[in-house]
């Protein structure tokens, strides 16, 4: 069985990938703690490519990475690529967004995920992008998920990501949609 390294140290993301890649015949491993990749790209795509490429080259194995975040209409697309760095932790990030949106009626937003898979020499072999549209609600709802999940209400279900069960979230989330696009190719690579 071939190994696939997830170029991330985000525990919430790691748990999602284990479920999303359950049908792929690979051993999903975490990026070693000793590897640091600076996310200094100006787009989600650049950051995903950089993380996957650097981790795959350093380890000499396949790597998958995503860069994802939330883009809020009333904030001109912020926090965008800075979603994970918008404040020190999830609670403070949520507080900052809710403070910045205080009194704002247009609370439209979307999550976006760019995914990249690199082969052991660092070359990109797969890429995917997907979005999930919704709104930022007034106060957090739900206990699941991570990041901005408690304040993002998905447009069709009217549930926050934090209120969804794993199957529903995987079906409609940005990351779930982006992974689904590359599953057929991953099944061939990790056959």
Domain boundaries, the chain: 2-189
pLDDT (tens digit, 9 = 90+) per residue, 58-110? Answer: 999 999 999 999 999 999 999 999 999 999 999 999 999 999 999 999 999 99
Q: Which CATH architecture has domain 2-189?
A: Alpha-Beta Complex (3.90)
Give the span between the Cα atoms of 10 and 30, in whole angstroms. 10
The string of DSSP codes covering 116-165 is EEE-TTS-EEEEEEEEEEEEE-SS---SSSSTTGGGEEETTT--BGGGS-
66, 67, 149, 170: the catalytic one is 67
Report pLDDT digits (tens) over 153-178: 999 999 999 999 988 998 999 999 99
Residues 119-134: tens digit of each pLDDT: 999 999 999 999 999 9
**What torsion do the CA atoms of 80, 103, 93, 54 make, to the nearest 10 degrees?**
0
> Could you tell me whether strands 108-118 and 62-72 are parallel, antiparallel, or unpaired per DSSP bridges?
antiparallel
Q: What's the CA gap between 177 and 172, in Å, rounded? A: 7
Angle between helices 174-189 and 11-20 (to 10 degrees): 50
Q: Is 111 helix (H, G, I), strand (E, B) or coil?
A: strand
Q: 3-state class of 89 per DSSP?
A: coil
Q: Does the annotation count 67 as an active-site position?
A: yes
């Amino acid at each position: 069985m071939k190994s696939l390294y997830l170029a991330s140290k985000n525990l919430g993301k790691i748990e999602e990938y284990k479920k999303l890649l359950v049908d792929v015949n690979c051993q999903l491993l975490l990026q070693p703690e000793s590897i640091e990749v600076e996310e200094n790209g100006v787009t989600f795509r650049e950051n995903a490519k950089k993380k996957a490429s650097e981790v795959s080259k350093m380890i000499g194995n396949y790597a998958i990475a995503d860069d994802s975040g939330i883009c809020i209409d009333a904030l001109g697309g912020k926090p965008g690529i800075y979603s994970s760095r918008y404040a020190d932790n999830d609670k403070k990030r949520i507080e900052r967004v809710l403070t910045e949106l205080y009194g704002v009626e247009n609370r439209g937003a979307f999550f976006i995920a760019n995914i990249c898979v690199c082969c052991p020499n660092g070359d990109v072999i797969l890429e995917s992008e997907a979005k999930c549209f919704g709104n930022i609600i007034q106060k957090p709802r739900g206990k699941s998920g991570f990041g901005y999940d408690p304040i993002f209400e998905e447009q069709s279900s009217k549930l926050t990501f934090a209120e969804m069960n794993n199957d529903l979230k995987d079906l409609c989330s940005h990351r779930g949609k982006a992974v689904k696009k590359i599953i057929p190719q991953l099944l061939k690579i990790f056959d």
